[in-house]
């Protein structure tokens, strides 16, 4: 059954958000949580001299140690299982349904995989962090601002030196000044809130404690300009060696040292030793990440290590964040039931003992405020892969949904991504398009806002095929986009179009947005979705923003795709492709959309090929690229 619907629409409602008279207004709580009961977490020693964590309400006293339990979000660049859960209303769910007292926001810094990281897309990933931190404060729970990297500092300080241990983030690196700049902004923005804990390096691997001490001194100097909150410092060998800091601890009164544990990898008898040494020497320890429990009911040894670890955290009153959130709810299975019964806190009624919302008197800088939105004229439509032209074999998808859209909104319900046995096994989709009317000027939009509820999706800047052929010299199929999280309740989002980046699969097309070439916004639900509905409304252009500097989008006149400069003449007749104007001995390759090579070789002046079947193909000749459709 055909699912495409076209309706005329104008997003005419104006979003009126009056600028605050001050640069920053205190974030207000939705509930009473652990922060209002315990206050800001702080390092201290018990009467025997062992390091512990306390709360500012009761201070450092025996019997007043504070242990909070929660969850770590996963790598923020991991789509769809990571970035889908960096949304405001999901954090409400995490607190309300999972009962977490602590949320860890794991911002990927220099990952060698995923859709970029902080060092390549700082504005986008910082906005993710802002969303989680503000939602945690509103829910009155603690939040770890996590500079999430596995070993990514090493290559910047030991360039060319083989590390003792291999690590994940080995393609590029970050410097201490990079982390200091980020944490300085975070401390200035949120450092007066008792909820906030700064985790300045997730998992060092081959760095020595001397390396990490120097790094921490640099980052701490920036944080302490604005905040005295607890800072958690990563330790060597995947944050397992807190004891290395005993001989040369940081000169700061409010420091904890990181410990990470995995029940399927580590033996508590040996692995806890270094952290115990640190605590015995008066240093505080914080378990910012632990996990490895998926096989505890199949492998008894793992369950034994887990139970030993949990008993240790109880004995030492150690706070922890379990790794990781990759789904919106806990299910009825053995492992999830164990998590609910033994790992997460029970639902608790907290006592209001700290009126932090009235005691933060200074106006903290840089919360973003938005002036009125303006209409974006366009038409809504929706479709799925069932309406696609299909793959090179002509096979189509079979994804379905109920279209309950109106003239001013999209309502796609009962969505089912179902392409098994079709040409879309690897990339099923259901999507909504908002096609611009003539005269829409996106360049005046500092941000674009819209309201939505439901499935995680990719918000995409779309270039219509024929229009892109005229503008770029080839049809575009790899569009710039940004990942939008699952929203269990209505949520208004503000997106800087400069955050959008393509997958860089088309070498001749800019990876960043070319606003004047765009013909629509696309809302694409693909792969794994965490809701069967997606509702969208109130699409607006935000022309004035305070407290935020939009990302710089390269000027399209400075972009010179190779295809735009080539003199190749490509023609298609049936399944035959003919190319003239080829430089002498130019290498060529013809690939289908799965990346499979159909033909390759070298050519001079002219090339003639016959493809086996209809579909889209990518032809590369020298540095030039053409996308070709065979019908």
Q: Which domains does the chain have, with CATH numbers?
A: 5-16+371-558 (2.60.120.430), 55-344 (3.20.20.80), 566-630 (2.60.40.3080)
Lookup: tokens for 310 = 């949990």
Lowest mean pLDDT, pick from 128-142, 298-312, 412-426, 456-470: 412-426
Q: What mean pLDDT is predicted for residues 384-393? A: 71
334 — pLDDT class (breaks 50, 70, 90): very high
pLDDT digits (tens, 9 = 90+) for 396-430: 788 999 999 999 999 999 999 986 655 555 678 99
User: HEC profile for 229-292?
Assistant: CCEEECCHHHHCCHHHHCCCCCCCCCEEEEEEEECCCCCHHHHCHHHHHHHHCCCEEEEEEEEC
CA distance 339 to 282: 31
243 — pLDDT class (breaks 50, 70, 90): very high
Q: What mean pLDDT is predicted for residues 329-346? A: 97
Closest CA to 223 of 263, 183, 259, 177: 183
pLDDT of the residue at 2: 31
Is the pTM for the entire model greater than 0.75? yes
pLDDT digits (tens, 9 = 90+) for 252-265: 999 999 999 999 99
149 — pLDDT class (breaks 50, 70, 90): very high
Question: Does the pLDDT of residue 617 top 90, yes or no?
Answer: no
Lowest mean pLDDT, pick from 124-128, 333-337, 368-372, 625-629: 625-629
pLDDT of the residue at 547: 85
- Please say whether the beta carbons of 107 and 125 come within 8 A: yes
The enclosing H or E element of 2 equals none
389 — pLDDT class (breaks 50, 70, 90): low
Question: Does the pLDDT of residue 42 top 80, yes or no?
Answer: yes
- Please say whether the beta carbons of 245 and 278 come within 8 A: yes
Q: 179-208 in b/e burial notation, b at 16+ Cβ within 10 A?
A: bbebbbbbbbbbbbbbbbbbbbbbbbbbbb
Q: What mean pLDDT is predicted for residues 496-522? A: 94
Q: Indicate the average pLDDT of the chain.
A: 89
567 — pLDDT class (breaks 50, 70, 90): low
CA distance 138 to 135: 5
323 — pLDDT class (breaks 50, 70, 90): very high
pLDDT of the residue at 7: 28
pLDDT of the residue at 1: 34
pLDDT of the residue at 619: 84
489 — pLDDT class (breaks 50, 70, 90): very high
């Amino acid at each position: 059954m055909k699912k495409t619907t076209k309706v005329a629409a104008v997003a005419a409602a104006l979003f009126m958000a009056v600028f605050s008279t001050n640069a920053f207004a205190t974030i207000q709580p939705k509930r009473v949580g652990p922060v209002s009961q315990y206050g800001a977490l702080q390092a201290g020693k018990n009467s025997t001299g062992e390091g512990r964590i306390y709360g500012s309400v009761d201070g450092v006293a025996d019997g007043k140690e504070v242990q909070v339990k929660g969850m770590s979000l996963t790598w923020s660049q991991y789509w769809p299982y990571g970035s889908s859960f960096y949304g405001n209303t999901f954090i409400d769910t995490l607190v309300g349904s999972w009962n977490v007292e602590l949320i860890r926001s794991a911002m990927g810094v220099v990952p060698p995989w995923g859709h970029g990281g902080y060092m390549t897309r700082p504005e986008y990933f910082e906005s993710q962090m802002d969303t989680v931190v503000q939602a945690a404060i509103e829910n009155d729970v603690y939040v770890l601002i996590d500079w999430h990297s596995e070993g990514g500092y090493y290559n910047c300080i030991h360039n060319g030196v083989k590390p003792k241990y291999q690590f994940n983030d080995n393609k590029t690196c970050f410097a201490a000044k990079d982390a200091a700049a980020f944490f300085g902004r975070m401390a200035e923005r949120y450092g007066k809130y008792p909820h906030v804990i700064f985790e300045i390096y997730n998992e060092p691997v081959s760095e020595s404690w001397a390396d990490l001490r120097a790094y921490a001194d640099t980052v701490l100097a920036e944080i302490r300009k604005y905040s005295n909150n607890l800072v958690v410092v990563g330790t060597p060998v995947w944050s397992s060696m807190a004891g290395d800091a005993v001989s040369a601890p940081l000169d700061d009164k409010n420091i904890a040292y990181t410990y990470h544990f995995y029940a399927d990898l580590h033996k508590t008898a040996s692995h806890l030793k270094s952290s115990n040494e640190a605590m015995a020497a008066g240093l505080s320890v914080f378990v910012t990440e632990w996990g490895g429990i998926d096989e505890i009911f199949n492998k008894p040894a793992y369950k034994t290590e887990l139970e030993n670890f949990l008993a240790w955290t109880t004995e030492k009153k150690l706070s922890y964040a379990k790794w990781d959130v990759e789904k919106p709810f806990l299910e009825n299975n053995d492992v999830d039931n164990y998590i609910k019964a033994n790992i997460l806190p029970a639902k608790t009624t907290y006592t209001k003992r700290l009126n932090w919302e009235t005691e933060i008197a200074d106006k903290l800088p840089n919360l973003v405020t938005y002036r009125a939105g303006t209409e974006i004229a366009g038409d809504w439509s929706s479709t799925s892969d069932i309406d696609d032209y299909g793959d090179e074999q002509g096979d189509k998808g079979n994804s379905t949904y109920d279209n309950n859209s109106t003239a001013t909104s999209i309502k796609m319900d009962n969505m089912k991504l179902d392409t098994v046995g079709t040409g879309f096994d690897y990339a099923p989709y259901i999507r909504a398009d908002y096609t611009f009317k003539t005269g829409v000027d996106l360049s005046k939009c500092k941000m674009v806002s819209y309201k939505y509820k439901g499935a995680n999706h990719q918000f995409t800047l779309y270039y219509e095929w024929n229009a892109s052929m005229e503008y770029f010299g080839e049809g575009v199929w790899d569009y710039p986009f940004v990942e939008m999280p699952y929203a269990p309740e209505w949520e208004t989002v503000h997106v800087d179009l400069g955050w959008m980046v393509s997958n860089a699969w088309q070498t001749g097309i800019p990876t960043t947005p070319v606003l004047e070439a765009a013909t629509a916004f696309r809302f694409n639900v693909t792969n794994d979705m965490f809701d069967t509905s997606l509702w969208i409304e109130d699409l607006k252009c935000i022309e004035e923003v305070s407290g935020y500097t939009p990302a710089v989008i390269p000027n399209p006149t400075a972009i010179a795709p190779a295809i735009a400069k080539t003199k190749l003449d490509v023609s298609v007749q049936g399944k035959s492709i003919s190319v003239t104007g080829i430089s002498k001995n130019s290498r060529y390759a013809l690939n289908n959309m799965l990346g499979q090579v159909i033909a390759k070789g070298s050519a001079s002046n002219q090339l003639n090929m016959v493809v086996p079947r209809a579909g889209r193909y990518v032809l590369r000749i020298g540095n030039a690229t053409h996308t070709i459709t065979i019908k």
